[in-house]
Amino acid sequence: MKKKKSIEVKTQTVGRNRRNFLKVSGLALAGSSLLLASCSDDDDSGNMMGGGTFDLGTGDVGVLNYAYALEQLEAAFYTNVVNGSFYASASADEKAILLDLYNHEVNHREFFKAAIGANVPMEQQLTADLEFDFSSVDFGNRDSVLGTARVLEDTGVSAYNGAGQYIQTAVYLTLAGKIVSVEARHAAAIRSIINGSADYTAFAGDDIIDDNGLDLAASPAEVISAAGGFFVTPFTYNNPGA
């Protein structure tokens, strides 16, 4: 798909601020090298299980494959969004935000594709051709698009938070921290446009923040259960304790 150019937003101030909020967050991966520290061949593995199901593996390999699967899902979703009829008729503010999210998620997907290609043995790499089912989403309907975007972004934040404990290499942990901050800004932006700029608490609702004011963390099993309906390609994540 040909990369789309960003739209310059010339609407009310709140719209410009939201857009700048996202544009700054999108710089989180700038300068990050794709030649990362090599994964250990001793403990990490990812391979085909019986029946053609791919297991994401354990340790760093498992987390990289897991993140790649989730970023492929989000990139595929926003690709459908920017090609849908709701996007075509959306307000300039909403269209600009969704386009930024599309660009961010595609960049995240390509980042993990390159990182895995450079650091993970071929037989342990998750395929780049995952298939998704978005039949439950009406890409011509604002509520359906934004509601699904909210679920995916909230899930993405909790997924990175929950997977951090399985990362063994410091540079991967640093990069995961950068990406989760971007995903959190995505979630905040989507919640803001759903609830309207007048609701200043919507961007961080009680349903995604714990009693300590921190974003929730979800285990890979919980995340895959929540997002599993979108995945057609079968895979498992049997990381110990996940």
User: Which pLDDT score is estimated for 186?
Assistant: 82
Position 85 in a domain = yes
pLDDT, tens digit, for every residue of 110-159?
988 988 888 888 888 887 778 999 999 999 999 999 999 998 998 888 88
The DSSP letter of residue 213 is: S
Q: Map residue 206 onto helix, strand or coil.
A: coil
The answer to whether residue 51 is domain-embedded is no
The answer as to whether 174 is a domain residue is: yes
Res 216: pLDDT: 55
Strands 235-236 and 54-55: parallel
Number of separate domains in the chain: 1
Domain containing residue 182 = 56-236
Report the pLDDT value the prediction gives residue 54, as an integer from 0 to 100.
80
Tell me, what's the pLDDT at 49?
44
Residue at 26 is within a domain:
no
CATH code for the domain in which residue 85 is found: 1.20.1260
pLDDT at res. 12: 30
Token pair, residue 186, equals: 């995505």
- Tell me the C-alpha distance between 170 and 50, whole Å: 33
Residue 34 lies in a domain: no
Question: Which residues, at least 6 apart from 152, have a Cβ–Cβ distance to it below 8 Å?
Answer: 73, 74, 77, 227
Q: Please tell me the predicted confidence (pLDDT) of residue 197.
A: 57
Q: Beta partners for 235?
A: 54
CA 33 to chain centre: 19
**Contact between 182 and 28 (Cβ < 8 Å):** yes
Q: What is the largest CA-CA distance in the chain?
A: 56
CA distance 237 to 163: 11
Quote the CA–CA distance of 134 and 105 in Å, as a whole number: 17
pTM, two decimal places: 0.76
What integer pLDDT is reported at residue 199 of this predicted model? 53
Task: Measure the N-to-C terminal CA separation of the chain; round to a whole number of Å.
Answer: 35
Both tokens assigned to 187 = 């979630």
Half-sphere exposure of 24 (CA within 13 A, CB side): 9
For residue 216, being part of any structural domain is answered with yes
CA neighbor of 189 nearest in space, from 218, 144, 146, 137:
146
Q: What are the phi and psi torsion angles at 235 (to 5°)? A: -155, 165
Q: What is the pLDDT along the chain (242 residues), one digit of tens a residue?
A: 333 333 222 223 334 444 444 443 443 444 444 444 445 444 455 554 444 678 888 888 888 999 999 999 999 999 999 999 999 999 998 999 999 999 999 999 998 898 888 888 888 888 777 899 999 999 999 999 999 999 899 888 888 888 888 888 888 888 888 888 788 888 888 888 887 655 555 555 555 555 544 555 677 878 877 777 899 888 877 764 45
210 inside domain: yes
Tell me if 7 is assigned to some domain.
no
